[in-house]
Amino acid sequence: MPEHLELTPAWQDITIRLRSAVGDSAYDIWLAPLAVKGWDGAVLVLQGKPGTDTWVGDRYGRILEKCAQAVLGAGVSVAFAGDPAAAAHSALRQHGRDNGGPAEDFNPRHTFDQYVIGDGNRLAHAAALAVAEAPGQAYNPLFLHAPPGLGKTHLLNAIANYITTFEPATTVRYTTVEAFTNGFIAALKGKALERFKHLYRDVDVLLIDDVQFLASKAKTEEEFFHTFNALYDSGRQLVITCDRLPSRLTGIEQRLRERFESGLVAHLTPPDLSTRLTILRKRAMLDNISIEDEGVLRLIAERVTDNVRSLEGALIRVVAQHSLTGRAIDAELANAVLGPIHPDASAAVNGTRPLTIARIQESVAEHFKLAPSDLTGTSRVANVVWARQLAVHLSRELTDASLQRVGEAFGGRNHATVLHACRRVSDRISVNNGDAADLQRLKQIIGHQQS
């Protein structure tokens, strides 16, 4: 489309596709306010409600670009007027396309500078930074595992952004297992397998997200196995993310699980309250959001405990409601916005602490003078194991979380491990008064926090 051509009909076509892709509710809340601010024939610049561009770009950027490309052409990228970093990144990607180079979709906002470090992710962050500074020499492979939303993908993008900034001659490719699988199937059908192999094996650093989805994909797993070996044997770097430990990857061959375990395995756990507050402050600063009442951030941090993505999303929802209604960003507004999504938010407003698995982990760890990460790790030291079992038992008894959810919160353990921990606690408290006193004391501590 020539850049001078009237864009209104095309934008209407794009919005129809967007509504169909995301559904009426999400479209009306987040995408309907978008307006076209610029179009130069290559980059479509959009603008939404003040303070929301960054979140909309992070959450819906890819589907926006996909819909825009369907209407305007395959080379089109999307940027947001309120997010200069994203705009510059889109221009850079377009430059790469125009010059026949790779058009890797690294998130420009996911850098090491923007990553908030806490006890739950300190090892993972340090390992990722070491890999970025010396690919193939520090930890290879680096295997990051955690439940969704705790920053694994952020670290992958941070590695990519760091290397492309400081070592532009180093080739980096990021992919999800889903994209790898789809590309492999398309290569088989199109008789383009050599090109596919070149795409993934002739790089210096390969970053693979969500490797758990290899399970039960025998042909794709075989190709991935050979790709892994080709890179590893030639001293090139692999970084892999997963929602569980390699040993708990059912449906994947033992030989591949062993290769995942041959490097450094680093676990990320939910951030504690202090880290959650820091994440919110940094996000507000990054998005130029002015929040005069610090209590609003504390309220959000106390209500949303298990997932960084949800934590940032809660802040954006509050800011969006402020933008749409003109109401002040205060505890009353935050409570009104969070109430339907995170029940019992009124307890946080009144100064009490909502009961979550993360809160139970913090309480148990403090009682035993451990770090919360000890409870989600793999240590077999007796007092750590007992503390972990107590925390699992209390999480199962005092919250409505499912066995799977409890297991995920304790390092990706399965439901059988959760049941074993609960049985173990029941057996010990029935014969040992000291163990029973431990459990009772913890219930009192948690109950006091709730009152």
Domains identified in the chain and CATH numbers: 8-98 (3.30.300.180), 122-267 (3.40.50.300), 273-349 (1.10.8.60), 357-450 (1.10.1750.10)
Residue ranges of E strands in 177-299: 205-209, 237-242, 264-267
Beta strands in 214-352 (DSSP E): 237-242, 264-267
pLDDT score for 92? 46
Q: Provide the pLDDT for residue 59.
A: 78
Contact partners, residue 294, CB within 8 Å, separation at least 6: none
- What's 323's DSSP letter? H
Radius of gyration for the chain, computed over Cα atoms and rounded to the nearest angstrom: 24
pLDDT of residue 86: 52
From CA 58, how far away is CA 53, in angstroms rounded? 9
For residue 445, give the amino acid letter.
I
Give the model confidence (pLDDT) of 111-133 as tens digits: 998 899 988 899 999 999 999 99
Rounded-to-integer distance, Cα 228 and Cα 238, Å: 8
Q: How far is CA 249 from CA 231, 257, 280, 414, in A?
A: 22, 7, 33, 11
The single-letter code of the amino acid at 384 is V
CA 412 – CA 401 distance, rounded (Å): 14
Cβ-count burial of 312 within 10 angstroms (0-12 exposed, 13-18 middle, 19+ buried)?
buried
Q: How far is CA 73 from CA 2, 43, 62, 103, in A?
A: 11, 11, 15, 15
Give the H or E element holding residue 45.
Answer: strand 43-47
- Does the predicted model carry a pTM greater than 0.85? no
Based on the number of CB atoms within 10 Å of its own CB, is 176 exposed (0-12), middle (13-18) or buried (19 or more)? middle
pLDDT attached to residue 4: 36
Q: Within 10 A of 258 (CB to CB), how many other CB atoms are there?
A: 11
Predicted pLDDT at 226 = 94
Which residues of the chain register pLDDT less than 70? Answer: 1-7, 40, 74-75, 82-105, 341-354, 448-451
The C-alpha atoms of residue 10 and residue 353 are separated, in whole angstroms, by 50
Task: Return the sign of the alpha-carbon dihedral for residues 69, 72, 77, 79.
Answer: negative
